[in-house]
């Protein structure tokens, strides 16, 4: 398996585009994205667990209930959430897209991201659809840009892998910078593959993967109303369709996980106001559930995040987060180390502090990517969670988000 360029257009039979249609005031920022397959594809999606859900999620869930889709339409700048006519607008977006592409409206995945509670005007979307369709091509980058809100950089990746001797490709784009928290992290992810895989196996692979990737990613503890991870598989690679568990599904899931982990790291590292990517690696858990709870608790701690911003090796905050996580842990066995490209330093052994160089620790914590390495000493289970530091700029960004 190799990482390649191309994002959501790397796989055979997929095209994408992104334009500024007028939803956002800034004409320099794209605000409407389209991804489409040459043929109807098998599809699956997972959604936010927030009880308040954006209208596009309701419409998408209905549209792909049959496990099929052919296109994704997504706008930024407005979440189309908590609006009286939200469902009508989301369905209209599907209708306009379907008419322009010559496909069925029920085969359209629809998504929106941006400010909650503001009516979404369909007029700019309708007026811009012709330009959006005309721009369709292999430019995954424009689609990645069009779904961004407070993101500071686009997020796209693709991998090439082999299933039963046949070369397949899987790619993805994502947006996410704030309102990112485990149990669907405002985050949108669109994945495409030319691998032939049944809708049932696609759904199984996606749900299994999300539990250990996007649901282990947190920026600020807020779970969005519009989170969605959707995947389309059009089968154009020509492999024998994956219809059951086995080596072929394992190969697909490895490729999927490579893409999703990369996107998770980039979402966390691009957290609103963030200066550092934080990765908490937990090993020695008595079971997977324990390891996951501990990793999430550490990565979500505002005090840990603030300490990492200040390059302060305040390991007591890590122990504190483990202690209130709710996991059954023998604290007297816990070890903590901080790791970066500048080196590694043990700061806690068997639940107690050890002598260490504060100067070396600061050197390690001043780097852009920090690993908080936790050993529980209770078993063999491992888990990883991703987050970022908490900075002054996070408050500035969210203090005037609507204005």
User: Which residues are known catalytic residues?
Assistant: 186
How many angstroms separate the CA atoms of 76 and 29, rounded?
A: 10
CA atoms within 13 A on the CB side of 300: 23
Query: What number of residues does the chain have?
Result: 403
204, two tokens = 């199984």
15 within 8 A of 138, measured Cβ to Cβ: yes
50 within 8 A of 84, measured Cβ to Cβ: no
63, two tokens = 């549209």
Helix axis angle, 288-300 relative to 302-309, nearest 10°?
60
How many angstroms separate the CA atoms of 153 and 365, rounded?
A: 23
Q: How many CB atoms sit inside 10 A of residue 397's CB?
A: 16
């Amino acid at each position: 398996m190799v990482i390649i360029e191309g994002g959501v257009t790397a796989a055979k039979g997929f095209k994408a585009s992104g334009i500024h249609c007028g939803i956002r005031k800034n004409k320099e920022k794209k605000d409407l994205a389209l991804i489409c397959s040459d043929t109807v594809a098998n599809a699956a999606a997972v959604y936010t667990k927030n009880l308040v859900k954006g209208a596009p999620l309701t419409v998408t869930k209905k549209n792909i209930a049959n496990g099929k889709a052919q296109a994704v339409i997504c706008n930024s700048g407005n979440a189309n959430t908590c609006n009286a006519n939200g469902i009508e607008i989301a369905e209209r977006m599907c209708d306009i897209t379907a008419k322009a592409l010559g496909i069925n409206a029920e085969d359209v995945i629809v998504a929106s991201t941006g400010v909650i509670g503001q009516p979404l005007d369909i007029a700019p979307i309708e007026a811009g659809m012709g330009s959006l369709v005309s721009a369709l091509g292999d430019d995954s980058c424009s689609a990645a840009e069009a779904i961004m809100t407070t993101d500071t950089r686009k997020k796209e990746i693709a991998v090439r892998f082999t299933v039963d001797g046949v070369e397949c490709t899987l790619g993805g784009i994502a947006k996410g910078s704030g309102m990112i928290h485990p149990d669907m992290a405002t985050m949108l992810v669109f994945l495409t593959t030319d691998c032939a895989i049944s809708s049932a196996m696609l759904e199984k692979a996606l749900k299994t993967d999300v539990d250990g990737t996007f649901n282990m990613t947190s920026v600020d503890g807020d779970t969005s109303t519009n989170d969605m991870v959707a995947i389309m598989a059009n089968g154009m690679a020509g492999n024998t369709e994956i219809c059951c568990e086995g080596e072929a599904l394992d190969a697909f899931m490895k490729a999927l996980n490579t893409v999703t982990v990369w996107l998770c790291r980039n979402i966390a590292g691009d957290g609103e106001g963030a200066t550092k990517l934080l990765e908490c690696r937990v090993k020695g858990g008595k079971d997977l559930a324990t390891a996951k709870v501990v990793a999430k608790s550490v990565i979500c701690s505002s005090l840990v995040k603030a300490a990492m911003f200040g390059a302060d090796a305040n390991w007591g905050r890590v122990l504190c987060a483990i202690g209130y996580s709710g996991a059954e842990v023998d604290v007297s066995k816990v070890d903590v180390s901080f790791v970066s490209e500048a080196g590694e330093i043990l700061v806690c052994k068997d639940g107690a502090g050890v002598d260490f160089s504060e100067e070396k620790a600061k050197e390690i914590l001043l780097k852009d990517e920090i690993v908080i390495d936790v050993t529980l000493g209770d078993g063999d289970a491992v888990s990883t969670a991703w987050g970022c530091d908490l900075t002054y700029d996070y408050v500035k960004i969210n203090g005037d988000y609507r204005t």
